[in-house]
Structure 1
């Protein structure tokens, strides 16, 4: 073998698969630089993590730095709106998590997004006093149901010469949620009729009524899709939030969890069952690559091309056997 290998093997590892029944989620913050994680080191450790497992909704509350590029007057307005909102009083949630209903049910609603702050001192900024300053931003997303053909992601962890792979349950992309704007939209509804001129005095405030919207689609398929979306929003509205404690990545507890759930816990690694490939190399190439085309017969691709090669291979073996028989006849 010529010594011209430009891609030498420099290391090899034994690969082990960890427990697959454990849920592992990867949270992606699309508008956040990689060097500024939401953690205690950067002063933005999440204060709350909420999850609706049936509908796949995820929300994370992260602190807002109110000392840099922060409008205190608007922060007070948004904080007051969230405190007085109907959704917060009824323990509901806004946006998709509440089924796009202002009075949606479900625990851990908008009230958790505002902290009561008093006597706050800010250099160069007005003192908000005892107002309700909005100090928390909510990030939210939804887990996409897995479909056939979706990639399977793994988390890798090294321990010496062993590589431990842990399957990822889902990847969740989190975006800023505008719950404070939804709360502001409620304010005119509750305060309508106040502060008007004399001609408006004494008039009763219109009573808020629930309006049922019925959508009739032109096609049966479209109607089924609309009905499915409405059913999903109803389930989002009815499902309760599950609350979880956020453990910072640099704590001892976090490293203990890492060692417990990212490493294979079987002490006898040598006695573990070996992986066996359920697919041949040629089939693997067909599945991961674009369809292969036979230049001599462009109409034959993929499976048909493979069957054609097998057919010609058998014919070639038969012709070779006939040639050997003829040689033996001539020799005799």
Structure 2
């Protein structure tokens, strides 16, 4: 059933289509929307484009996500096999990568190497060691790692939802968090780390060491919630010790994805659904989103940017409910 069409000459304005809007039941699990800001919409990461992600990792405590996606190796103008071999060998030789560690913020910037707690936890849990992207026979780098941090929505934030259409129906399902994934050049980090390790081994073997210099580094920041200083070094160590969980990536054209889409992204009992009424009248809604009005009254709390200027919320009582608005007065 197609969405109902309205005459564009309608005096109420240009209305192209009308839809019945349904607020879907909560998803059985938390919904995280993955965003790819550096990827064009016409070529997504899926099996249809031969770009299905091969591995996905998630840190449950620090909320970091990493995804390995294949590189397009068929175009010589975009893929340099000599450089890919060099970077692949660097990754294959890097101790942090081979011990299931990570570079960057997700791995605590490699402070102290791979923690024993992480290795012991995975062994004790009996989790299978998933090979890293460089563990291939010829050691040529053919995959790119995307990384990002899950941003969870809190009470008071805007409510985000996924929209799905079925005929003249629009179904909205709440989204709990989003994660923006961008390329993470771990092959460059591995090359730098290998050079640093070789330099340190040369010093330990008796080579001339550089002159010692006194350097005191204090890593501290202010906690936004409590306003107290916190140790950044401890935070980075916690990030490093947070163990990766390996997840299964299900392609969008897979039957599992299709059934999940049909079962969870539509409100199926549309015939007996209760009709919702807005808590705001049209005029009060327009008043809430419009530019605040100015007035000469001075009430409320002083504006920090302009001393002597005060603000207050004033409820404009009106006999007509349609004309009731909330005005922000300034003077």
**Considering the TM-score relative to the shorter chain, is it more than 0.5?**
yes
Among 97, 114, 124, the residue aligned to 1:104: 114
Q: Structure 1 or 2: larger helix share?
A: 1
Q: CA deviation at 1:147?
A: 4.5
Structure 1 counterpart of 2:100: 91
In the alignment, what sits opposite 1:36? 43
User: Partners of 2:106 and 2:80 in 1: how far apart?
Assistant: 27
User: 2:139 aligned with 1:136, yes or no?
Assistant: no
Q: TM-score, normalised by structure 2?
A: 0.71
Counterpart Cα distance in 1 of 2:279 and 2:50: 48
SS of residue in 1 equivalent to 2:151: coil
- Which residue does the alignment assign to 2:74? 67
Please tell me whether residue 256 in structure 1 is matched to residue 276 in structure 2. no
Separation in 2, partners of 1:223, 1:217: 14
Distance 1:57 1:218 in 2: 21
Q: Are 1:240 and 2:236 matched, yes or no?
A: no
Indicate yes or no: 2:32 matched with 1:25.
Answer: yes
Aligned-partner SS, 2:48: coil
Greater strand percent: which structure? 2
Deviation string 1:227-250 (CA, Å, 9 cap, x unpaired) is 264444233212111211111112
State how 1:155-166 maps to structure 2 within 5 Å: 155-166=162-173
Partner of 2:272: 271
- Give the distance between the partners of 2:189 and 2:221, measured in 1 at CA: 32
Give the length in aligned residue pairs.
285
SS in structure 1 at match of 2:181: strand
Name which one, 1 or 2, has greater alpha-carbon Rg: 1
Q: Please give the root-mean-square deviation of Cα atoms over the aligned residues, in Å.
A: 4.0
Structure 1 Cα separation of the partners of residues 12 and 163 of structure 2: 28
Query: The residue matched to 2:179 in structure 1 has which SS?
Result: strand
Paired residues of 1:38 and 1:45 also in contact (CA < 8 A): yes
Structure 1: gaps of 5 or more residues: 118-130, 207-211, 315-332
